[in-house]
Amino acid sequence: MKRVTVINGPNLNLLGTREPEKYGNETLDEINGRIQAEASRLEAECQFFQSNSEGELVSAIQRAGVVGGIILNAGAYTHYSIAIRDAIAAVPSPVVEVHISNVHAREEFRRVSVIAPVCAGVIAGFGSYGYILALYALLGRGRHE
């Protein structure tokens, strides 16, 4: 059974109430539930982690580095955390960077990701469905089955 770790960064614990016009009305627990249901259907195991702390995210990436893959929404750390970038580069697991909003249609500073060059891919702008797309990518699924 393939294992995937889903790691969410700062302020994502506020989903459902934080700027719903940008991030939707789903809570992080609801999103995680949908990811878990799809992973189970695909015979994969998911673990979930969220932190507002950069160091805790680095540690979570290092711990998860031996699983089948990592889905990472690093939030604002995407744009400037060299520590998170270095953690991704140091682990053998593929990492898919996910953003709920289309960061390329937002403020200029959000269009730059320092972690993208060390990730297997980036998914942005598809709402919480981006996590499911990342799951499919990590599990080698090209389409919804």
Q: Is 99 a catalytic residue?
A: yes
**Distance in angstroms (rounded) separating the CA atoms of residues 12 and 31:** 11
**Which whole-number Å values give the CA distances from 16 to 23, 58, 135, in the listed order?**
8, 25, 22
For 69, the token pair is 């893959």
Q: Is 23 a catalytic residue?
A: yes
Classify 85 as helix, strand or coil.
helix
Catalytic residue chosen out of the listed positions 77, 99, 131, 136: 99
User: Is residue 39 within 8 Å of 4, Cβ to Cβ?
Assistant: yes
Catalytic residue chosen out of the listed positions 23, 77, 131, 136: 23
**Catalytic residue positions, numbered:** 23, 99
